Amino acid sequence: MVQEVLEQIKAAEDAVEEHRQQAKMNCRLYEEQKQERLAKLRQESEEAVEKVLTDSLATQEKMLQLEKEQLLDETKRTEQALHERYEANKEQVIDSIIERVKDVYGS
């Protein structure tokens, strides 16, 4: 009878140890799954941030290119206006000099 009780205790201890090992293995598997999920989420997050940055940079580049084109157009218009004024003033100055020469030296 004592032998039987000892065998039952041993069997119970073995069962408890087996359950403990199984629980330990389940915990490791669960932790591995969560680590994999976390790594995947980090990767997705990094990709999303990279996409946002890339899109933002592309938008900024487009805006800068547009601003550059506008400034070039404005510069071209300003240069054209200055050239036209120069030409108009040049003719007036030449006419004025001719008139003064005529006045001083006669026609």
> Is the pLDDT at 106 greater than 80, yes or no?
no
Residues 56-104: tens digit of each pLDDT: 999 999 999 999 999 999 999 999 999 999 998 998 898 899 998 888 8
pLDDT of residue 29: 98
One-character DSSP codes across 21-38: HHHHHHHHHHHHHHHHHH
Q: How many Cβ atoms are within 10 Å of 56's Cβ, its own excluded? A: 10
pLDDT of residue 60: 98
For residues 30-58, give the mean pLDDT.
98
Token duo for residue 98:
């001719």
C-alpha atoms less than 13 angstroms from C-alpha of 49 in its C-beta half-sphere:
6
Residue 56 amino acid letter: S
DSSP 19: H
pTM over 0.85: no
DSSP 107: -
pLDDT of residue 107: 65
Token duo for residue 37:
């999920």
